[in-house]
Amino acid sequence: MKNQNALDRLKTIEGHVRGIEKMLENGDYCIDIIRQIQAVQAALNKTSLTILDGHLNSCLVTAIRGEDVDERERVLKEIAEIYETATKV
């Protein structure tokens, strides 16, 4: 069900992006366009967090509880990489 939530969010975001395209085509005020872009970025971040939450509560938990040390290390490394990418400025 979390995937459906993320898909629904992405469809909404897609509509917002189309709206931004129209704003640009219409020559709308730059600051208004930037605010809309920031809203889309925030929505994408929220979608990413939704997907990450699902991953942490399924794949990560399974790997941590499992016997496969390599799989556990792989999944933990992925989480560290995602965190590192997210915190880059």
| Chain segment 34-74, per-residue pLDDT in tens | 999 999 999 999 999 999 998 998 988 898 899 999 999 99
**What is the CATH architecture assignment of 2-87?**
Up-down Bundle (1.20)
Q: 31 or 88: whose pLDDT is higher?
A: 31
On the CB side of 45, CA atoms within 13 Å amount to 10
Rounded to two decimals, what is the model's pTM? 0.80
pLDDT at 75: 92
Confidence at residue 89, expressed as pLDDT on a 0 to 100 scale: 59
Domains of the chain, by residue range, sit at: 2-87
Q: 68 near 83, Cβ under 8 Å?
A: no
Distance separating alpha carbons of residues 43 and 72, to the nearest angstrom: 30
Mean pLDDT is highest, among 28-32, 47-51, 62-66, 79-83, for 28-32
